[in-house]
Amino acid sequence: MSSATTARDPSRATTGRVRNTRQAATIEDVLREQDGFRSAQQLHAAIVASGGKVGLTTVYRYLNTLAESGRADVVHNAEGEAQFRLCGEAAVAEHSDAGHHHHIVCRVCGRSVEVSGPEVEAWAERVAAAAGYTEVTHTLEVFGRCPEHSPRRAAPKRTATHRG
């Protein structure tokens, strides 16, 4: 957590935010350092821990801005806590709709991998259509233990569980 890039980023324009403030830069910075999804609380803690000075309120506000403009992804963990992550640059490609992708998030370290699941997309659309549903939306979140936090080579207790 060396107070690295903590400087105003000139490449921030688009939606919302007009000004370039120190706190916004700090937040985006910390966010970039994380490999996985982090809650607003965690991010704020991280900032404070590394000597940064940004109010929790601001973290929330900025995070929401990022999410709204599609520059960040939001998922809700099992407890309903919101977790954010900078959207892979690639994803922000065309529309501000943040491309089609899901994540596999490590339960232990929060590290995540982006995956695109055309099959799932198709499946969701198909079954929904079959049931007569329209304007379909879906939420898919996969959690597990990343290689680094998986039990050695011991037989995993259970390969797959469910919820939802």
Partner DNA sequence: GTAGCTGCAAACAATTTGCACACCG
Partner DNA sequence: CGGTGTGCAAATTGTTTGCAGCTAC
Residues near DNA, by CB under 7 A: 8, 16-24, 39-41, 53-58, 60-62, 64, 80-82
Q: With respect to a second copy, which residue has the nearer C-beta, 94 or 135? A: 135
Q: With respect to DNA, which residue has the nearer C-beta, 17 or 121? A: 17
- Tell me the C-alpha distance between 17 and 8, whole Å: 13
Shortest distance, CB of residue 99 to a second copy, whole angstroms? 8
160 interacts with a second copy by CB under 8 A: yes
Q: Which stretch binds a second copy (CB under 8 A): 12-20, 22-30, 49-57, 134-142?
A: 134-142
140 interacts with a second copy by CB under 8 A: yes
In the structure encoding, which two tokens stand for residue 163, read together?
A: 């919820």
Q: With respect to a second copy, which residue has the nearer C-beta, 32 or 100? A: 100
109 interacts with a second copy by CB under 8 A: no
Shortest distance, CB of residue 103 to DNA, whole angstroms? 17
11 interacts with a second copy by CB under 8 A: no
Sign of CA dihedral 39, 44, 48, 50: positive
Looking at residue 90, its amino acid is A
Q: Let me know if 101 is exposed, middle or buried by CB neighbors in 10 A (0-12, 13-18, 19+).
A: middle
Q: Among residues 4, 1, 84, 7, which one has the least CA distance to residue 49? A: 1
b/e map 64-73, b = 16+ CB within 10 Å: bbbbebbbbb
Contact 73, 103 (CB under 8 A): yes
Binding site for a second copy (CB under 8 A): 73-76, 78, 80-82, 97-98, 100-104, 106-107, 113, 115, 117, 119-121, 123-125, 127-128, 131-147, 150-151, 156-164
